[in-house]
A = this chain, B = another copy of it.
């Protein structure tokens, strides 16, 4: 598990990724049940997988692609997390007295989503404790990341927040110090809780300071130690 920043402070990362498969914890019968009650759907870049407030009918298993999980209201937009392949999404809808999705999901790239009937999924959670224990692990790991992000967005200012997001993208999403961003500057704004203009200005500043290299959508982290210091000091 990657936990690059936890040693020195509160982790601020944004994405959840686990290689361990929940699927392997199911019995053969349960696997069949899941297979019979799920379909794999292809979404094009920019398409909406689900909307907050809708009845939660499925659990979404992201088989491939990159999506944002977000809240929107009026013109306000908050990206809760990014998710890549192997992520289970929509589980947050599972709690008593609730039957609505707590967030929306939209793709950044062409994505493949396996949509699993939520009734079947919860039935398995109720009957298979190894499975549900694993799900608890997944949820808690997401929550820990959410805390870090919450801290970053509420307690740090622009420099720190941008450093956080860049480190996160590098560590968790692209797993490389250089990557091609499929997100717009406006999306980076939503992700860091700042305006599009500020994102542009900050990134230019980082580039001028030699912290990152940048040509259009291509970004390279050049001085990770300094980025981490910026992250730490806010």
Contacts and interface: CB of A to CB of B under 8 A. Distances in A.
A23 interface: no
Given A10-B73, A129-B125, A129-B132, A137 B78 contact: no
Per DSSP, chain A at the interface is: helix
Interface stretch (A36-44, A89-97, A164-172, A178-186): A89-97
Contacts of A22: none
A28 B92 CA distance: 30
B147 A102 contact: yes
What number of copies of this chain does the assembly contain?
2
A132 B139 contact: no
Contacts of A144: 92, 95, 98, 102
A215 interface: no
Contacts of A130: 126
A127 B131 CA distance: 10
Interface string A49-87: 000100000000000000000010100101010000000
Interface stretch (A109-117, A151-159, A204-212, A221-229): A151-159
Given A136-B139, A140-B94, A154 B78 contact: yes
B154 A93 contact: no
A32 interface: no
Given A95-B136, A96-B141, A136-B136, 6 more contacts: A10-B73, A76-B155, A95-B140, A102-B144, A103-B147, A126-B130
27 contacts: A9-B73, A76-B151, A76-B234, A91-B136, A92-B147, A94-B137, A95-B136, A95-B138, A95-B144, A96-B137, A98-B140, A98-B144, A103-B147, A125-B129, A125-B133, A125-B136, A126-B129, A127-B129, A132-B133, A135-B136, A136-B139, A139-B143, A150-B153, A153-B154, A154-B154, A154-B193, A155-B193
